[in-house]
Amino acid sequence: MLRDVYVRGKYRDVILPMTVLRRLDAVLEPTKQAVLDMKAALDREQITNQDDALRAASGQAFYNTSPFLLRDLKARATQQKLRDDFEAYLDGFSPNVQDILTNFEFRNQIPRLSKADALGQLIERFLDPDINLSPNASGTQPGLDNHSMGTMFEELVRRFNEENNEEAGEHWTPRDAVRLMAKLMFLPMADRIKSGAYLLYDCACGTGGMLTVAEETLHQIAAESSTAATPNTPWSPVPATARCFFWPTC
């Protein structure tokens, strides 16, 4: 579907951001109407600072106030109408997701996809029942938890980088190496870790894989020791460097 629109090395400019969008879309779907109702109520009361209320309504650290889900955009009479509605859908995301879209430079791809009559086909492919990027089960497809989603995304990044003759290690660290790093960091001080909240900082977080593995390691320590920490903060890596991908708690 992208073959006649992009050269192979540019597929990632579309597939990576669409993967993120489909995940966010699936996570937000259960609370979509609650967000729209909250948005309407805030507008009626002329409340300008709406971010906290909309996050609470979505149950996530992000939201979308457009009237659309991706599945609403499959059927449009014209390519121009599809493009307009898709751009309105993107504009409806919260500021933190807007940062992600900006870093991906994904809006630059929309005119090209629309002109090639490929935007609708692209959306349909990501809505295929055989591809479930939701944390909840769908039909015969199991849900995809945060860790699995992150692993899948990093595999996409690795493959695209290899196809472009880039060094995979510049963008992706094997999970075994990350687990070893986490254990080297925590195990020597395991008996001194107390129950509470801990901040994990990765100055080049990328997809946040190191943060989730570190969190898992702390949970493992907690299960093995009554005095170990039980992390109680959600996975929300802060933006870092040129590219950052926010995976929600779901």
Per-residue pLDDT reduced to its tens digit, 209-230: 778 788 888 888 777 765 444 4
Residue 242 confidence (pLDDT) above 50: no
Rg of the chain, C-alpha, whole Å: 20
State what percent of residues in the chain have pLDDT above 70: 85
Q: What is the rounded distance in angstroms from the CA atom of residue 52 to the CA atom of residue 43?
A: 14
pTM, two decimals, is: 0.74
Burial class (CB in 10 A: 0-12, 13-18, 19+), 202: middle
Mean pLDDT, rounded, for 110-130: 94
User: pLDDT digit string (tens) for 152-162?
Assistant: 888 888 888 87
User: Measured between alpha carbons, how far is 212 from 218 in angstroms, rounded to an integer?
Assistant: 10
Q: Tell which residue, 205, 248, 10, 23, has the closest CA to residue 131.
A: 23
Smallest CA-to-CA distance from 214 within 173, 188, 184 is with 184
Contact 48, 77 (CB under 8 A): no
Q: What is the pLDDT of residue 192?
A: 78
Q: Which two tokens stand for residue 102?
A: 């900006």
The rounded distance, in Å, linking the Cα atoms of 214 and 64 is 30
pLDDT of 54 strictly over 60: yes
The rounded distance, in Å, linking the Cα atoms of 76 and 120 is 8
Does position 52 have pLDDT exceeding 90, yes or no? yes
* Non-local CB neighbours of 61 within 8 Å, separated by 6+ positions: 55, 96, 234, 236, 246, 248, 249
Give the three-state DSSP class for 53: helix
